[in-house]
């Protein structure tokens, strides 16, 4: 068997490293290809040490060579990690907060806030100390979902400075812009005002010690997202989507925003909300109203973890409106669904924290992804 180096390079042009738009050869990830009889050695250079991306790159290279060149070729892939040298500013770390998870969705109304609230109570049930920052400036829903609509955070003295005390509900520490506005008042926050308010809720608050701070982001990929990522060392992002094509297309944009070179926040995975409907009287029937496994397939395509699915259940909507997240009802299918998702999230956080250095707040260094900043 004689292997042709040029043919191998051509095969490698058909695959890309997860999160990068260009193919492996064009992006410079393939540093060298050597052939010795039936042996091929491919040297790759990646900018992220994330284990799943390394593994995927190795498997893809082998598959491309076996499928397109020779199935008997002995392929060896050497991977070197070179951190990209893009300039970054150090985010002000928040003393006492171990992990900050941004929960986002490309599209509005897919259940991002519902998922955030239920993740928070499930993590709390598992014994973690959890905070929720409702950064959904345009439609804050945490006060309703945690039944603390009329609460007003008080100011406390911490080391000579006065700080905002989050409201505690079901053991979860909560701050929301909704606490500072009247329920029926339209909130017209321009970018800078919103960022200032958020910064205060993050840095001028007495969060205490938290294992997880979940941030409920507004839908989309706009200026609030950029300003949060500029000021906070985010551990990772969870993207919520429903299974229909229009929601998936926007979720894809959300994932690429986090993975883009200028933002580079690890995506912990995708949650599929409203995955199917099961009527109470026919518990074994599943109706895939919005399509089947859409978000699962998207996760596979984008090579990010799939964290789990949440069915459409009337009690989820009722519990949200009533102010008692549905996952608190232990032993129900909803609680079981969130249990699975939370376990996957925690597993991904652990994986991420062992394979990557702490995320630094990002200084946006290119205009890529910043198109929304100038608007308003």
Ligand X SMILES: Nc1ncnc2c1ncn2[C@@H]1O[C@H](COP(=O)(O)OP(=O)(O)OP(=O)(O)O)[C@@H](O)[C@H]1O
Task: List residues near ligand X by CB under 6 A.
Answer: 105, 108-114, 136, 139, 141, 219, 273-274, 310, 312-313, 316-317, 320
For the four alpha carbons of 299, 301, 304 and 305, in that order, the dihedral sign comes to positive
CB 17 within 8 A of CB 53: yes
Nearer to ligand X, 226 or 310 (CB): 310
Q: Which one-letter DSSP state was computed for residue 154?
A: P
Nearer to ligand X, 20 or 216 (CB): 216
Nearer to ligand X, 50 or 257 (CB): 257
Which is nearest to 339 in space by CA: 118, 160, 177?
118
Nearer to ligand X, 166 or 243 (CB): 243
Least distance from C-beta 297 to ligand X, angstroms?
A: 19
Q: Which one-letter DSSP state was computed for residue 251?
A: H
Least distance from C-beta 35 to ligand X, angstroms?
A: 51
Nearer to ligand X, 125 or 273 (CB): 273
Q: Which one-letter DSSP state was computed for residue 366?
A: S
Nearer to ligand X, 320 or 369 (CB): 320
Least distance from C-beta 247 to ligand X, angstroms?
A: 10
Least distance from C-beta 163 to ligand X, angstroms?
A: 27
Q: Are strands 210-216 and 130-134 parallel, antiparallel or unpaired?
A: parallel
Q: Coil, helix or strand for 173?
A: strand
The single residue listed with the structure tokens 């995320």 is 359
The binding site for ATP consists of: 106-113
Least distance from C-beta 177 to ligand X, angstroms?
A: 13
Least distance from C-beta 334 to ligand X, angstroms?
A: 8
Q: Coil, helix or strand for 294?
A: helix
Which is nearest to 37 in space by CA: 10, 75, 9, 7?
75
- CA–CA dist 90, 362 (Å, integer): 8
The single residue listed with the structure tokens 């993590």 is 123
- CA–CA dist 221, 94 (Å, integer): 24
Which residue spans within 4-129 are E strands per DSSP?
30-36, 39-46, 74-81, 97-104
Residues shown for the chain: 376
The binding site consists of: 106-113
Which is nearest to 172 in space by CA: 338, 376, 328?
328
How buried is 102 (Cβ within 10 angstroms: 0-12 exposed, 13-18 middle, 19+ buried)? buried
Least distance from C-beta 164 to ligand X, angstroms?
A: 23
Nearer to ligand X, 235 or 273 (CB): 273
Least distance from C-beta 89 to ligand X, angstroms?
A: 29
CA atoms within 13 A on the CB side of 6: 0
Nearer to ligand X, 9 or 289 (CB): 289
């Amino acid at each position: 068997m004689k292997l042709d180096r040029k043919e191998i390079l051509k095969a490698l042009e058909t695959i890309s490293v997860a999160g990068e738009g260009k193919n492996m050869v064009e992006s410079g990830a393939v540093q060298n290809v050597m052939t010795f009889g039936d042996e091929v050695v491919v040297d790759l250079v990646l900018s992220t040490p994330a284990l799943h991306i390394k593994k995927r790159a190795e498997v893809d290279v082998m598959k491309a060579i076996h499928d397109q060149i020779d199935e008997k070729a002995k392929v060896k892939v050497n991977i070197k990690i070179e951190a990209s040298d893009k300039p970054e500013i150090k985010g002000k770390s928040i003393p006492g907060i171990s992990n900050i998870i941004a929960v986002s969705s490309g599209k509005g109304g897919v259940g991002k806030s519902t998922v955030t609230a239920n993740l928070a109570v499930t993590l709390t049930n598992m014994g973690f100390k959890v905070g929720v920052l409702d950064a959904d400036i345009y439609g804050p829903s945490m006060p309703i979902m945690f039944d603390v609509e009329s609460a007003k955070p008080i100011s406390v003295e911490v080391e000579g400075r006065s700080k905002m005390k989050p409201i505690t509900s079901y053991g979860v520490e909560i701050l929301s812009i909704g606490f500072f506005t009247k329920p029926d008042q339209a909130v017209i926050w321009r970018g800078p005002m919103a960022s200032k308010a958020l910064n205060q809720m993050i840095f001028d608050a007495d969060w205490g010690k938290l294992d997880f701070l979940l941030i409920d982001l507004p839908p989309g990929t706009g200026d609030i997202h950029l300003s949060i990522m500029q000021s906070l060392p985010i551990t990772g992002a969870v993207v919520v989507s429903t299974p229909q094509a229009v929601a998936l297309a926007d979720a894809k944009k959300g994932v690429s925003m986090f993975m883009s070179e200028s933002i580079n926040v690890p995506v912990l995975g995708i949650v599929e909300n409203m995955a199917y409907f099961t009527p109470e009287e026919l518990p074994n029937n599943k109706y895939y109203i919005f399509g089947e496994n859409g978000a699962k397939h998207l996760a596979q395509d984008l090579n990010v973890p799939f964290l789990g699915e949440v069915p459409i259940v009337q009690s989820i909507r009722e519990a949200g409106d009533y102010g008692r997240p549905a996952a608190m009802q232990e032993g129900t299918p909803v609680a079981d669904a969130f249990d699975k998702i939370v376990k996957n999230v925690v597993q991904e956080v652990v994986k991420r924290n062992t394979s990557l250095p702490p995320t630094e707040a990002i200084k946006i260094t290119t205009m890529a992804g910043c198109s929304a900043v100038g608007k308003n």
